[in-house]
Amino acid sequence: LAKTTQPISMDSYEGQEVNITCSHNNIATNDYITWYQQFPSQGPRFIIQGYKTKVTNEVASLFIPADRKSSTLSLPRVSLSDTAVYYCLVGGNSTLTFGKGTMLLVSP
Amino acid sequence: GAVVSQHPSRVICKSGTSVKIECRSLDFQATTMFWYRQFPKQSLMLMATSNEGSKATYEQGVEKDKFLINHASLTLSTLTVTSAHPEDSSFYICSAPWGDRAYEQYFGPGTRLTVT
């Protein structure tokens, strides 16, 4: 399983765009990149997943460079309710291994 | 999106007793479900993979006789913590993958277990 590295924490203000980058240097050819969001005392919530280039859905965008050794989750115009831990996971059709995640704090 | 429920949401039990936690996929079938444990301020740790119709697969260091898993149907998996001790107090979370895509999992809301 590819190991991931993310910043431990990030701070932002309401209305700003937040980009969280994840490094996964030993990603395998058949690995997908998936991001989850977790609020305190809740199960993680699937945000977005991608394999290469750019993926966008109603809540976020995921940018993946050609070498796939990193990925960036982009949250447009964050609000206070986006304060959470964000996990980057890399894997194929096997089990998920959660790293420490990035604690995003959004302030007024 | 897919919905996974857990019951109970929180439970307090006395040391030495057993506790059963249910995990249900409400609008899709799951031949595989996963059980995680999360201690305060820590990340999720995979405990075991629950397989419908066969034995669960446990991660290294997880006692299979203590954490009994039964995948009774395509929508239900149960985790029983037997002879619970205070150190078993934790947040237990289950998940189910979307189809065969293990990288896209849908998580339950979690169960807070407190052993006194």
Closest CA to A89 of B20, B84, B16, B44: B44
Predicted confidence at residue A75, as pLDDT, reads 97
pLDDT at A82 over 90: yes
Contacting B residues, span 33-52, partner chain A, CB-CB under 8 Å: 34, 36, 43-46, 49
Q: Are B88 and B115 in contact (CB under 8 A)?
A: yes
Predicted confidence at residue A97, as pLDDT, reads 82
DSSP bridge pairs for B20: B80
Sequential DSSP letters for B59-88 = PTT--TTTEEEEEEETTEEEEEE-S--GGG
Average pLDDT of B66-86?
Answer: 95
Using pLDDT thresholds of 50, 70 and 90, give the confidence band for residue A50: very high
Predicted confidence at residue A2, as pLDDT, reads 64
Q: Tell me the nearest-neighbour CA distance from B16 into chain A, angstroms.
A: 25
Q: Are B11 and B112 in contact (CB under 8 A)?
A: yes
Closest CA to B111 of B3, B38, B14, B40: B38
Please write the tens of the pLDDT for every residue from A94-105: 778 888 899 999
Using pLDDT thresholds of 50, 70 and 90, give the confidence band for residue A83: very high
Closest CA to A4 of A91, A83, A104: A91
DSSP bridge pairs for A12: A106
Predicted confidence at residue B55, as pLDDT, reads 92
A96: nearest CB among B102, B108, B110: B102
Helix (H, G, I), strand (E, B) or coil at A80: helix
Predicted confidence at residue A52, as pLDDT, reads 92
Average pLDDT of B63-68?
Answer: 95
Average pLDDT of B107-116?
Answer: 97
Distance (Å, rounded) from C-alpha A104 to C-alpha A10? 5
Question: Would you call B104 and A49 a contact, using CB atoms and an 8 Å cutoff?
Answer: yes
Identity of the amino acid at A51: Y
A93: nearest CB among B46, B94, B100: B100
**Count of C-beta atoms within a 10 Å radius of residue B76:** 16
Helix (H, G, I), strand (E, B) or coil at B33: strand
